[in-house]
Structure 1
Amino acid sequence: MRQRYFQLFILIVASGSIYPVVYMRQNFEGSMLETYGISLEQLGECHSILGLMFFLTYLPSGWLSDRFSSKWLLGSSLAGTGLLALWLSTVPSFAQIKLIYIGWGITSGLTLWGALIKSTSLLAPHDQQGRFFGILESGRGIVEAMLATIGLAVFAYLLESVSTAKDVALIAVVQFYGGAALVMAPVIFWALHNPSEEPIENTDASSDSGLLSDFAILIRNPSIWLAAITILIGYQMFWVTYSLAGLLESVFELSAVTVGSITLARLWMRPIGGVLAGFIGDYFHVVKFLAILMLLSGAALASLPLLPPTTAVAVLFPMVMLIGVLSYGVRGIFWATLDSCNVSTSTRGLAVGMISLIAYTPDIYVPAVQSWCMERWSGQTGYQVYYALFGASSIVGFFAAHRLIVLSRKSTP
């Protein structure tokens, strides 16, 4: 068991080392625009390209993880991400920056995602799926936060203490992020074992079956669809929390500093929510606990914009922290549904790709729904409709998870 947790730790550090540079916009947006001489719309175009690449690579990412060793896929992801970051540090043209984001779509999507989820699923014993995925989500959050903190410290030190120009300071941060990914690449090659080498029960020997036949088997599996719906509902509710800052500032009229403090505190609910949900879920039944957690998360989301605009910070702060714990808890364990899908080891990666293709579509439609709600109903009413709509969807997630439990019990001999 100690070896399993060590392998999980390697997966956490590896995956957590990739995203800080890919999403450095969240901490350095203004500096990126100034350094690279691009507009906000152009930076948005880069992230739209990234999102499109993710959507296109979910399915082939799963297929790759069934055909190639996880250590090679994850190691390639780290090496590729680091090299692309070093390219970005040369301050290339906008056309080249778009190519870099396409590359990041490959290294943080195609070669990473399926291998990461499948490896975690195979590492975790059947009765510990919740805690392994919870620890993965929490650990990734901690690693990303640590690297982002170091990056910000480097940026601030060069800018303020050494009086370095802003573009030079940002380039140093990009190089730091790229270097961290490159350093982790050989560690992955050396330390990560192929999860298929672990003793996994119910392993299907039909690994040589063709892609089309594997796909046909999975698409006829109702548990795959139920898991996809469950994860989709959980992910779209999590997406709603991205608008918490806007809600607090525009409806409850909190200052920017107060809002920033509250939303920053919410980020630290990620490790707490993921680990708590994982261990509590395994103690009872992880999918059953996920169903209940989704209902609680949906109710908390829908309730927040119903509070009077004069509500004090003393009430809003714990409410937002509760939403953070619940939403991160749901996100931390919703991939534990994969173990209930009765999928063989040889096709589990393809199953991850199929589920992801459906489950992460909120990236496409949730922002559009938010815009529609805010345009049709102004102010607090718009937020109430938006939050209530997706909060109520937790009922669908609850029944999908419940049905998945029923099918899982029927398929168990």
Structure 2
Amino acid sequence: MTQRYSGLILLILAGELIFSLPFHITRFFKSGVLEVFQISNTNLGDAFAFYGILALLSYFPGGYLADKYPPRKLIFYSLLLTGIGGIYFATIPKPTMLPYLYAFWGITTILFFWGALIKYTSDWGGMDQQGRAFGYLEAGRALVASIFSSIAFLLVYLVSQNSESFSRNSIQLVILFYAITTIVLSFLILFFLRDKTKQKISRSPIGSPLNITIYPVFLISIIIVCAYCGFRSIDNISLYLVEIGNLTPIEASGFVTLLSYVRIISALVAGFVADKITSITLIIRLFILTIIGQSILFSVYPQTFYHSLLVNGTLIIVFISIVSLRAVYFSLITHSHIPSHRFGFCVGIISLVGFTPDIFFHSLTGRILDAQPGIIGFQNYYLVTMLISILGLLASLNLSRWMSSKSLLK
């Protein structure tokens, strides 16, 4: 039992820390990165575009690799190569080199890693604890992000104690902290993570029959697209609170920070509930709750105290629903009659489609908000997100019917 949970802890650490170099540093120390690297938001955005394109192209072949090779080795190489990229990042390369570095990370964090991570998590949960396994993963990742960002903040504070801005040394220290931690973790994975799926690894030749049903894969892809759009939509909660809720930026930031801790609890609870009532049943209920919340945000203008109370409460409910969806949607794969030796292949297809919002969502919603600033823009914004959630609900209902027809529900 101890060895089983130690493997899950290593998996959780890997699942978050591998994304710390491309994402955490710019998320928590963005102004310092822009200043030290002497780049603009546009330059950084272009670098992320390179990451997004290479990551998207890596999902499908990464799923194929997850079916062919032990997860332990795939995760080891992913962490090691990503950490080495971090060492280069710490040298403060020229701005022209950042797109290439982020493209490199787009490959190392996804190609060898993502399919292996999801497959190992699924195998850890077995048939009876899929929701719990993915709930642990999501909650653990949120906790790891909070802990390591706090350590990074402490390092910056100690180095820049007498300064009001980030120094080159403080940014380099943070980058090295994440890079070295990632490399050390890669060797911990190599030596201590058990290959739980070793007996299931397929060596079937290229061109052999896939033996999978496309319909559930298609529906799960749609569900994840819609749920992931919801997850990306919470990035604008603080902006809504400032522009519409009349909170100060600091108050809005504090509200969102508190929500980040709610994410940990929500993911854990969602995992346990999913195992009790089945993942698809929970997902249907969460989509319904999300749609109700988004309809309130679409129709209510927080002019009075009671309206503001209603809106703030609704934001919390929508947030809980969305992060709970994110915690359990991958558990649908195991319960959809997909052969274990094609699990990684299906993860690749589903992720390729499911994470396309990384390309279009912010561009689309940014234009919606800019077209009509103020309450009208946000009403249109929540109308669009509500329509996306309705599509996710319809896909979930269809998947539930398909599962029932195949006697796959408990």
Bin the TM-score by the shorter chain. Answer: over 0.9
Q: Percent identity?
A: 26
Query: How many residues get paired?
Result: 405
Separation in 2, partners of 1:6, 1:297: 34
Structure-to-structure mapping, 1:157-236, within 5 angstroms: 157-160=158-161, 166-197=167-198, 207-213=202-208, 217-218=211-212, 220-236=213-229
Matched, 1:9 2:2: no
Cα pair distance change 1:305/1:156, threshold 3 Å: farther
Structure-to-structure mapping, 1:95-134, within 5 angstroms: 95-134=96-135
CA offsets, 1:23-55, max 9 Å, x none? 111111111111112222111111111111111
Separation in 2, partners of 1:372, 1:98: 25
Q: Which residue of 2 aligns with 1:386?
A: 381
Cα pair distance change 1:141/1:212, threshold 3 Å: farther
Q: Which residue of 2 aligns with 1:329?
A: 324
- For 2:269, which of 255, 276, 292 is the aligned residue? 276
Cα pair distance change 1:173/1:232, threshold 3 Å: same
> Comparing 395-404 with 117-126, which one deviates more in the overlay?
395-404
Cα pair distance change 1:351/1:31, threshold 3 Å: same
Separation in 2, partners of 1:12, 1:311: 43
Partner of 2:402: helix, strand, or coil?
Answer: helix
Q: Which residue of 1 aligns with 2:18?
A: 18
CA offsets, 1:196-245, max 9 Å, x none? 147xxxx6x9x33344445x544x52111111111111111111111111
Separation in 2, partners of 1:164, 1:400: 48
**CA RMSD between the two structures:** 2.1
Q: Kindly indicate whether the alpha-carbon contact (under 8 Å) linking 2:48 and 2:99 is maintained by their aligned counterparts in 1.
A: no
> Comparing 227-236 with 4-13, which one deviates more in the overlay?
4-13
Deviation at 1:350, TM superposition (A): 0.7
Structure-to-structure mapping, 1:252-267, within 5 angstroms: 252-267=245-260
Matched, 1:61 2:54: no
> Comparing 114-123 with 393-402, which one deviates more in the overlay?
393-402
Q: Which residue of 1 aligns with 2:294?
A: 301
Cα pair distance change 1:117/1:290, threshold 3 Å: same
Separation in 1, partners of 2:117, 2:65: 11
Separation in 1, partners of 2:162, 2:231: 39
Deviation at 1:283, TM superposition (A): 1.0
Matched, 1:310 2:303: yes
- For 2:347, which of 346, 352, 355 is the aligned residue? 352
Matched, 1:402 2:397: yes
Cα pair distance change 1:391/1:212, threshold 3 Å: farther
Q: Which residue of 2 aligns with 1:370?
A: 365
Partner of 1:275: helix, strand, or coil?
Answer: helix
CA offsets, 1:385-407, max 9 Å, x none? 21122223323222322322332
Separation in 2, partners of 1:74, 1:122: 15
Letter in 2 for 1:243: N
Deviation at 1:319, TM superposition (A): 3.1
Q: Kindly indicate whether the alpha-carbon contact (under 8 Å) linking 2:223 and 2:392 is maintained by their aligned counterparts in 1.
A: yes
- For 1:242, which of 223, 235, 238 is the aligned residue? 235
Deviation at 1:95, TM superposition (A): 2.8
Separation in 2, partners of 1:162, 1:384: 42
Deviation at 1:298, TM superposition (A): 2.5
Q: Kindly indicate whether the alpha-carbon contact (under 8 Å) linking 1:265 and 1:321 is maintained by their aligned counterparts in 2.
A: no
Partner of 2:337: helix, strand, or coil?
Answer: coil
Q: Kindly indicate whether the alpha-carbon contact (under 8 Å) linking 1:266 and 1:320 is maintained by their aligned counterparts in 2.
A: no
Cα pair distance change 1:282/1:2, threshold 3 Å: farther
Separation in 2, partners of 1:410, 1:211: 32
Separation in 2, partners of 1:185, 1:164: 33
Separation in 2, partners of 1:35, 1:92: 10
Separation in 1, partners of 2:245, 2:206: 53
Q: Which runs of 5+ in 2 are unaligned?
A: none
Cα pair distance change 1:341/1:77, threshold 3 Å: same
Deviation at 1:195, TM superposition (A): 2.5
Cα pair distance change 1:32/1:106, threshold 3 Å: same
Structure-to-structure mapping, 1:70-109, within 5 angstroms: 70-109=71-110
Q: Kindly indicate whether the alpha-carbon contact (under 8 Å) linking 1:232 and 1:360 is maintained by their aligned counterparts in 2.
A: yes
CA offsets, 1:117-171, max 9 Å, x none? 1111111121211111011011011111111111111111110159997111110
Cα pair distance change 1:8/1:165, threshold 3 Å: closer
Q: Which residue of 2 aligns with 1:292?
A: 285
Deviation at 1:183, TM superposition (A): 1.1
Separation in 1, partners of 2:205, 2:244: 55
